[in-house]
């Protein structure tokens, strides 16, 4: 196995770094370090942990220039998107510095009398974290911050495409006062080798994974052998619904964010636009005018460009029409912002996660039929609804099978809100109180209470 692997800049196709290639031995050494650090970290007072997390928030936010430049160079996203990601990723440390000290449990009487029940929350133990390349900072901090708040130590495997950001964050955490061994990053170009070493290690008690449904399913199967505590943040196929009376300017602005942030490489990216037939021509004209001018950031690699292009070609061969495309530079792994109409409901373009800057528009007129189409998907992560009347928006939102719905908004992510999906989009939630509970086990004491 090569001792290092290259990291590319998707905008130039140039190699920007060579990173040591982690092996099973290094994976185990990382668990050794996490195991050594665990007792002290778990026993550290919540306030002391909180203050370290707060310092981590401050250091990450203060380092925005360097961190965002690193994200742009290895992931390709625009400077604005990278800066937004740095602030979003720092917020997880701020939020969980505040949650770390909210340690309440429960105290109650048993119904039969004579005993008391005390409920508490213990750190789950050493947690293995596996993250994707599309948000190299935020997907790591969304796991590290609650894990540390709960008193866990962690081993983290970033995506091979974007290991540099995770390594830079680990350095900032040391500077913030996180003790050695609490956070251990193992980059590798052999993910199965490293992650299998962790899943088979008796000391690892938790797997928190963000990535594709396909890999998540395989890791769930592996985790079943040790009945491992798992959290899964998987793929999506978000619908973006527009009713006849929606504010179209707002809907276009929301659609631009929901579709083109990160060039469409977001699990929450709008994948299918369901537009009411009374406004579909108007929407396509206005959305298309914005797309004509939109210069997107590159996709992550040449394979991603080939995959997106294949989905579009197939839809066009099946009768869809490309109505608008944006400009792209001559070099780099780019695919233009693209708007299509007349897409067949069974097309792969609307059934699979596109993960690129392509917007298929489907015209609807009957709400029940539209909702049946929206819900005819194995995914259920995010969706969006734009409607003139809030009661219509909420009725439609409540009928959509998804963990998160943007109502008259094109973005749902918020560290204080429970992020996650239903169906094959995942198990569990990140962010909010739920994200902390994901790194805790509930324990109760049944107490004989003489005199009760």
For tokens 């668990």, name the residue: 31
Q: How far is the CB of 312 from ligand NAD (least distance, A)?
A: 18
Q: How far is the CB of 300 from ligand NAD (least distance, A)?
A: 8
Say how many C-beta atoms besides its own lie within 10 A of residue 271's C-beta.
29
Give the nearer residue to ligand NAD in terms of CB position, either 132 or 288. Answer: 132
Q: How far is the CB of 218 from ligand NAD (least distance, A)?
A: 6
Report the run of H or E that residue 447 belongs to, with start and end: strand 440-448
Tokens of 38: 């665990």
Q: How far is the CB of 162 from ligand NAD (least distance, A)?
A: 9
Rounded Cα distance, 191 and 157, in Å:
8
Give the nearer residue to ligand NAD in terms of CB position, either 231 or 338. Answer: 231
Q: How far is CA 210 from the centre of its chain?
A: 6
Give the nearer residue to ligand NAD in terms of CB position, either 131 or 184. Answer: 131
Are 233 and 419 within 8 A, CB to CB?
yes
Q: How far is the CB of 142 from ligand NAD (least distance, A)?
A: 8
How far is the CA of 329 from the CAs of 114, 197, 296, 297, in angstroms?
Answer: 75, 42, 9, 10
How far is the CA of 257 from the CAs of 252, 261, 380, in angstroms?
Answer: 9, 5, 19
Give the nearer residue to ligand NAD in terms of CB position, either 151 or 410. Answer: 410
Give the nearer residue to ligand NAD in terms of CB position, either 20 or 177. Answer: 20
Cα angle 314, 315, 318 (rounded to 5 degrees) comes to 90
Rounded Cα distance, 369 and 386, in Å:
17
Give the nearer residue to ligand NAD in terms of CB position, either 131 or 440. Answer: 131
Are 351 and 290 within 8 A, CB to CB?
no
How far is the CA of 434 from the CAs of 10, 89, 152, in angstroms?
Answer: 35, 17, 15
How far is the CA of 430 from the CAs of 50, 102, 303, 419, 437, in angstroms?
Answer: 18, 17, 29, 5, 9
**Annotated active-site positions, please?**
233, 267
How far is the CA of 300 from the CAs of 135, 188, 442, in angstroms?
Answer: 11, 17, 40
Give the nearer residue to ligand NAD in terms of CB position, either 159 or 397. Answer: 159
Q: How far is the CB of 236 from ligand NAD (least distance, A)?
A: 5
Give the nearer residue to ligand NAD in terms of CB position, either 77 or 276. Answer: 77
For tokens 């007129």, name the residue: 365
Say how many C-beta atoms besides its own lie within 10 A of residue 100's C-beta.
26
Say how many C-beta atoms besides its own lie within 10 A of residue 191's C-beta.
19
Which residues lie near ligand NAD (CB under 6 A)?
Answer: 130-135, 139, 157, 159-160, 191-192, 195, 210-212, 215, 218-219, 233-236, 267, 353, 381, 421, 426
Q: How far is the CB of 208 from ligand NAD (least distance, A)?
A: 11
Q: How far is the CB of 164 from ligand NAD (least distance, A)?
A: 14
Rounded Cα distance, 58 and 52, in Å:
10
CA dihedral 369, 375, 381, 383 (to 10 degrees): 0
Closest residue to ligand NAD using C-beta atoms: 211
Report the run of H or E that residue 84 belongs to, with start and end: helix 79-99
């Amino acid at each position: 196995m090569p001792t290092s692997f290259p990291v590319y800049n998707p905008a130039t196709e140039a190699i920007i770094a060579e990173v040591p290639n982690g092996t099973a031995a290094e994976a185990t050494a990382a668990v050794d370090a996490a195991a050594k650090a665990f007792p002290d970290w778990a026993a550290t007072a919540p306030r002391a942990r909180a203050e370290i997390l707060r310092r981590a928030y401050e250091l990450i936010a203060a380092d925005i220039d360097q961190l965002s430049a690193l994200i742009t160079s290895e992931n390709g996203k625009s400077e604005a998107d990278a800066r937004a990601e740095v602030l979003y990723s720092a917020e997880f440390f701020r939020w969980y510095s505040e949650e770390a000290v909210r340690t309440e449990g429960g105290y109650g009487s048993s119904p039969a009398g004579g005993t008391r029940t005390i409920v508490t929350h213990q750190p789950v133990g050493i947690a293995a974290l596996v993250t994707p390349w599309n948000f190299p900072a935020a997907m790591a901090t969304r796991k590290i911050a609650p894990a540390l708040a709960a008193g866990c130590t962690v081993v983290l495997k970033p995506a091979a495409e974007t290991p540099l950001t995770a390594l830079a964050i680990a350095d900032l955490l040391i500077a913030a006062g996180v003790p050695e061994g609490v956070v251990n990053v193992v980059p590798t170009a052999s993910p199965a080798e490293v992650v299998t070493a962790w899943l088979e290690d008796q000391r690892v008690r938790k797997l928190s994974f963000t990535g594709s449904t396909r890999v998540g399913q395989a890791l769930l199967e592996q985790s079943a052998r040790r009945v491992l505590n798992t959290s899964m943040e998987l793929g999506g196929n978000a619908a973006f619904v527009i009713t006849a009376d929606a504010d179209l300017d707002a809907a276009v602005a929301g659609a631009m964010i929901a579709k083109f942030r990160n060039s469409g490489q977001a699990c929450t990216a709008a994948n299918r636009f369901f537009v009411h037939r009374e406004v579909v021509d108007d929407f396509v004209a206005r959305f298309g005018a914005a797309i004509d001018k939109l210069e997107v950031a590159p996709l992550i690699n040449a394979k991603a460009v080939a995959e997106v292009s294949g989905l579009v070609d197939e839809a066009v061969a099946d009768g869809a029409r490309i109505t608008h495309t944006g400009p792209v530079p001559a070099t780099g792994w780019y695919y233009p912002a693209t708007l299509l109409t007349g897409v067949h409901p069974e097309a792969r373009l609307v059934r699979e996660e596109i993960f690129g800057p392509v917007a298929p528009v489907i015209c609807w007129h009957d709400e029940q039929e539209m909702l049946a189409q929206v819900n005819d998907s194995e995914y259920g992560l995010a969706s969006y609804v734009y409607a003139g009347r809030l009661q219509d928006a909420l009725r439609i939102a409540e009928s959509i099978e998804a963990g998160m719905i943007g109502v008259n908004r094109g973005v749902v992510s918020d560290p204080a809100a429970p992020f996650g999906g239903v169906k094959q989009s995942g198990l569990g939630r990140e962010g909010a109180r739920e994200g902390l509970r994901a790194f805790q086990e509930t324990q109760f004491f049944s107490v004989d209470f003489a005199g009760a």
